[in-house]
Structure 1
């Protein structure tokens, strides 16, 4: 009896030892997994940091880097023709003697601005032609600074718009419309406008810009990069504009009831009704 108990005790001891070893092995495996995971995270963090630094500090991709735009900020300011103001940040399209002014605030990467232009742009063009009002454009680049989609496309497209404005106000309006066209406007998360080749390809849809060597040179050389930064700074100083598109008529925001509160008129009918009310 005592021998059996002694054997059972030894057997139990062996089982406990085996169980403890298995637990220890599991703990070691878990520890190794954490170490490996931690290493991967660290590597990814470093890689992410390098990627972020490359975005911020530049590389070999020209104006698609923020280093190039930092250099642009130190350029001598070249203002496009057909602008006004000390730094050329007043961009007004339409008859100078028009009694009313429509202020349009936009970002060239903004997808809602694209929809607004597609739906309402023709109405605005007609009203401007008819002399109902002139349009003052305020173009920001805040989407380039959004950490989730950081890039340089807003600035680069704005600089290209400056090159179009240097050709003529009509070229500016047509190019603005072309950049926002459904077939041309990239998703918000894609920084396609950082590429001069993309901007120049879209420009071929505008008769005044198609094959225009001077315009192409200004885009490639970044002639109006400094001006684009000044335009962006001017946009940022307007404190009551917190998103794009924003539209003002004679200094007061134009809004309509959307069912979720007040919002920008996003259809031609909504816009026409809102402006007609202001013109009474």
Structure 2
């Protein structure tokens, strides 16, 4: 389960549109700190010969050398204790650092594990960003030609059924336009349904999508399409994507992820959980209060008074704005 989220099935105000942003919640709590270090050893273990480093004392001048050995052993033990205390302080300081501490990993780098030993999908304290992300905090996902003259901003919630319908209808056209250089696309993700209905599927799926982005941008697009497909996307009332096993099952439809061990490890260990939380916080601060929302060069695209629902409506809206 995603840390700090309510279980699915919570009651919802019938007047609240689940796809409308209910407000700007405070920044998410930071992940728990690094676990306490074990108690320091009382001294170095004796070696096979009885001395502190394995050497047997020489027979000559036994009393003087025995005293010197004891002094050296006490000093070594004190140094070990001091070393352990210094390491523990430094390590705790790094784990409790701000979530904006960015660690950019190479493609397929995966994450740093489950720091609290709980076995859950909980990411490390530092913000680990996927390869192929950008921006000051590494939470900008832009796909397309860098010198493309126009930018399409797409705002979605991976748990949102209308977003899935939009992706099924318009996603292939967007992928084609990216390859043609018509525009580059900046993706933004919300967790509106996690907040309005309870659960963690929006955030957990976004963390998994970050692991796919770490493989390649094409893998990101393919996995996103699989998550949003009519075959896989859950009903509004079901928080299916809170389950890592379900996300892994969907990944088997993407060739690049079928046998990708680093992707599986990152998903299981929640490597990109803090990254997903930061992405969601950025959406909350964007001023966009509903999904799906699409903007071209900062101006919202509409078809029939709302977000284009078909490929034809979308292309018409894009061409009209580009000509205008």
Q: Same fold (TM over 0.5)?
A: yes
Change (3 A) 1:55 1:88: closer
Instruction: Classify 1:55/1:78 alpha carbon distance in 2 versus 1 (closer, same or farther; 3 Å).
Output: closer
Q: Measure how far apart 1:161 and its partner are.
A: 0.4
1:102-181 equivalent positions in 2, closer than 5 A: 102-146=152-196, 149-181=197-229
Partner of 1:275: 318
Residues 254 and 264 of structure 1 are in contact (CA less than 8 Å); yes or no, is this contact kept in structure 2?
A: yes
- Bigger fraction of residues in helix: 1
Answer whether contact 1:109 1:153 (CA < 8 A) is retained.
yes
Task: Verify: 1:214 aligned to 2:257, yes or no.
Answer: no
User: Contact between 2:123 and 2:272, CA under 8 Å: does it hold in 1?
Assistant: no
What TM-score does the superposition give when structure 2 sets the normalisation length?
0.63
Gaps of 5+ in 1: 1-53, 58-66
Equivalent of residue 233 in structure 2, options 177, 180, 185? 185
- Cα deviation code 1:15-74 (max 9, x no counterpart): xxxxxxxxxxxxxxxxxxxxxxxxxxxxxxxxxxxxxxx9649xxxxxxxxx99954587
Shift of 1:92: 0.4
1:167-206 Cα distance to aligned partner (Å, 9 max, x none): 0011000000000000000001100000000001000101
The answer to whether the 8 Å contact 1:73/1:229 transfers is no
Greater relative CO (CA pairs within 8 A, separation 6+): 2
Q: CA RMSD in A?
A: 2.0
**Equivalent residue number for residue 60 of structure 1:** none
- Give the Cα–Cα distance (whole angstroms) in 2 for the partners of residues 73 and 131 of structure 1: 35
Q: Does 1:234 align with 2:277?
A: no
TM-score between the two structures when normalised by the length of structure 1: 0.72
Q: Deviations over 1:208-267 (max 9, x none)?
A: 11111000000000000000000000000111x11100000001100122xxxx200000
Provide the C-alpha distance between the structure 2 equivalents of 1:115 and 1:279, rounded to a whole number of angstroms: 25
Describe the SS at the equivalent of 1:256. coil
User: Equivalent residue for 1:251?
Assistant: 298
Separation (CA, whole Å) in 2 of partners of 1:88 and 1:157: 18
Q: Secondary structure at the match of 1:124?
A: helix
Corresponding residue pairs, total: 211
**Cα distance in structure 2, aligned partners of 1:120 and 1:143:** 22
Q: Distance in 2 between matches of 1:73 and 1:230?
A: 12
- 1:109-141 Cα distance to aligned partner (Å, 9 max, x none): 000000001000111111111000011000011
2:308 aligned residue (265, 269, 275): 265
**Greater gyration radius:** 1
Gaps of 5+ in 2: 8-27, 33-121
The answer on whether the counterparts of 2:164 and 2:229 sit within 8 Å (CA) in structure 1 is yes
Q: Structure 2 matches for 1:75-114, cutoff 5 A?
A: 75-114=125-164
Contact 2:30 2:125 in 1 (8 A): no
CA contact (8 A) 2:6 2:200 kept: no
When residues 55 and 80 of structure 1 are mapped into structure 2, their CA distance, relative to the original with a 3 A threshold, is closer
- Report the Cα offset of residue 86 of structure 1: 1.9
